[in-house]
């Protein structure tokens, strides 16, 4: 059973735990009272209480002492440094053939797991594919899906059905139709425009029933992409693979994922063959202030 305790001798009655707990588990009657722990069963184990209390007055069974580390504020990057990393990150699709080691990939995933998730469910799981034969098969299955999808979109009857089903969402697929056909044609010639012969693929998957499973996975993906950039690795988001997984179970079945799981994001990685020396300006942010 979950245990949360407040040390009466360490607590300063400042109410920080009451203020920061998103579930309202801590309550107090007066400003000088020791907070009471109510609705313990509502705890989502986010760790806010332990992380925020400056006095170390709270012990939580979900976070033993070895799981709590002081923030190294002295090495936190200032805004300009962080923004430079974000600006310089690019989708890199040209790789050296050597495969990143497990330690490096694990460091990227370590950044992924600290991404926020809805209700702190931490639903995202990671499947790392580095076997060349499996990578080729994933690309082939993706090409098969794209070929099938393009054929359907070229069929007026099926296209009209999708129009009724998807509305304006269909426009995006139609705009990318020629690209899909080109990618398939190149793949049939032996030119991999799906994984670009990346030596590593990280697939982000989760049980479909998880709260905001897709959002959780893509938040983790962005953390991983920035971590890879900081480590000098080349990486790109595998949109075609994820699109195939969204509409077809072939890749998930091939990789023996649990039947209740779905692949929501993918990050292809490797050592860069080309270095980018500049970051390029983007369109101004379109902001509405209310």
Percentage above 90 pLDDT, the chain? 88
* Per-residue pLDDT tens digits for 75-105: 999 999 999 999 999 999 999 999 999 999 9
Q: Is the pLDDT of residue 1 over 80?
A: no
Per-residue confidence (pLDDT) for residue 286, from 0 to 100: 98
For the chain, the average pLDDT equals 95
* DSSP code at position 178: H
Separation CA 120–CA 114 (nearest Å): 10
Separation CA 227–CA 67 (nearest Å): 22
280-289 contact pairs (CB < 8 A, 24+): none
> Region 270-287: what's the mean pLDDT?
97
List alpha helices for 79-125, DSSP H.
Answer: 79-88, 102-112
Separation CA 198–CA 234 (nearest Å): 9
Using a cut of 0.75, tell me whether the model's pTM lies above it: yes
Q: Which of 63-67, 106-110, 171-175, 209-213 has the lowest mean pLDDT?
A: 171-175
* Neighbouring residues of 282: CB distance < 8 A, sequence distance ≥ 6: none
Q: Checking DSSP bridges between strand 4-6 and strand 58-60, what pairing results, if any?
A: antiparallel
> Region 250-259: what's the mean pLDDT?
96
| pLDDT band at residue 27 using 50, 70 and 90 as cut-offs | very high
Per-residue confidence (pLDDT) for residue 114, from 0 to 100: 98
Separation CA 259–CA 186 (nearest Å): 32
Under 8 Å between Cβ of 267 and 224:
yes
């Amino acid at each position: 059973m979950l245990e949360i305790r407040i040390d009466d001798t360490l607590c300063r009655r400042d109410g920080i735990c009451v203020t920061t707990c998103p579930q309202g588990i801590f309550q107090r009657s007066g400003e000088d009272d020791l907070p009471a722990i109510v609705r313990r069963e509502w705890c989502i184990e986010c760790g806010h209480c332990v992380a925020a209390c400056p006095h170390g007055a709270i012990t939580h069974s979900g976070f033993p002492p070895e799981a709590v580390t002081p923030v190294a504020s002295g090495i936190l990057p200032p805004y300009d440094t962080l923004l430079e990393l974000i600006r310089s990150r690019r989708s890199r699709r040209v790789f050296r053939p050597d495969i990143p080691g497990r330690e490096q990939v694990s460091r990227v995933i370590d950044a992924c797991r600290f991404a926020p998730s809805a209700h702190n469910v931490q639903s995202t799981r990671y499947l790392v594919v580095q076997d060349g034969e499996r990578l080729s098969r994933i690309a082939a299955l993706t090409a098969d899906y794209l070929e099938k999808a393009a054929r359907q979109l070229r069929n007026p009857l099926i296209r009209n059905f999708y129009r009724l089903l998807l509305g304006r969402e269909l426009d995006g697929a139609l705009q990318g139709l020629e690209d899909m056909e080109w990618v398939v044609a190149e793949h049939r010639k032996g030119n991999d425009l799906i994984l670009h012969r990346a030596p590593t693929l990280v697939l982000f998957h989760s049980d479909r029933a998880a709260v905001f499973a897709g959002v959780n996975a893509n938040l983790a993906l962005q953390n991983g992409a920035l971590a890879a950039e900081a480590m000098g690795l080349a990486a790109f988001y595998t949109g075609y693979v994820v699109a195939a997984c969204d509409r077809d179970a072939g890749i998930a079945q091939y990789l023996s994922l649990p039947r209740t799981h779905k692949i929501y994001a993918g990050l292809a990685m490797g050592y860069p063959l080309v270095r980018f020396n500049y970051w390029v300006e983007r369109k101004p942010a379109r902001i509405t202030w209310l």
